[in-house]
Amino acid sequence: MSKKSKEQDNNIITNRKAFHDYFLEEHFEAGIALEGWEVKALRAGRIQIKESHILVKSGEVFLFGAYITPLPSASTHVIADPSRTRKLLLHRNEISKLIGAAERDGYTLVPVNLYWKNGYVKVNLAIAKGKKAFDKRASEKDRDWARQKERLMKIH
């Protein structure tokens, strides 16, 4: 009998809206400063980053708008703030690159996904340029054509 390898999915959540609304150019990996109840909620998959964004303030990088729903079994002595600002942990040279990119016209910083790496929660963030309506239609048209090609190749 052959053993099936258990491939772990370390992905917690992916911001699919970021792929639709932005051209993602350069990616960075950052740690995130979390409290204990937040880590437990992430293990349960209770996070939403669709409307979140990243800001650079006074040489530090923060994640705004990420909503982590506290578990009902959370500790009674901890006051859970589900939408608090969370600090991202990056090297100084990466922060300087992000500061330069965020100040350019039309560029923003968006969280792409959250995942587990060696027991820690990591954020994949990207320097992104906003798409116009015609760009969104063009990318949707390309995606539909690729899907149609796959169907045609499967038939023949």
Domains within the chain, CATH numbers bracketed: 11-131 (2.40.280.10)
Question: What distance in Å separates the CA atoms of residue 120 and residue 35, rounded to the nearest whole number?
Answer: 12
Residue 119: phi and psi, rounded to 5, are: 85, 0
- Residue pair 22/131 in contact (Cβ under 8 Å)? The answer is yes
Candidates 68, 69, 65; CA nearest to 52 is 65
CA distances from 88 to 106, 107, 117 (A): 22, 19, 15
- Residue pair 47/41 in contact (Cβ under 8 Å)? The answer is yes
- The one-letter amino acid code at 36 reads G
Which pTM does this prediction carry?
0.78
pLDDT digits (tens, 9 = 90+) for 51-86: 898 999 888 999 999 999 988 887 677 788 888 999
Q: By mean pLDDT, which of 24-33, 72-81, 124-133, 139-148 is the weakest?
A: 72-81
- Residue pair 125/55 in contact (Cβ under 8 Å)? The answer is no
Residues 6+ apart with CB under 8 A from 13: 45, 47, 48, 49, 113, 114
H or E stretch covering 23? strand 22-32
Residues 6+ apart with CB under 8 A from 118: none
Is 5's pLDDT higher than 70? no
Question: What distance in Å separates the CA atoms of residue 68 and residue 37, rounded to the nearest whole number?
Answer: 9
Is 4's pLDDT higher than 50? no
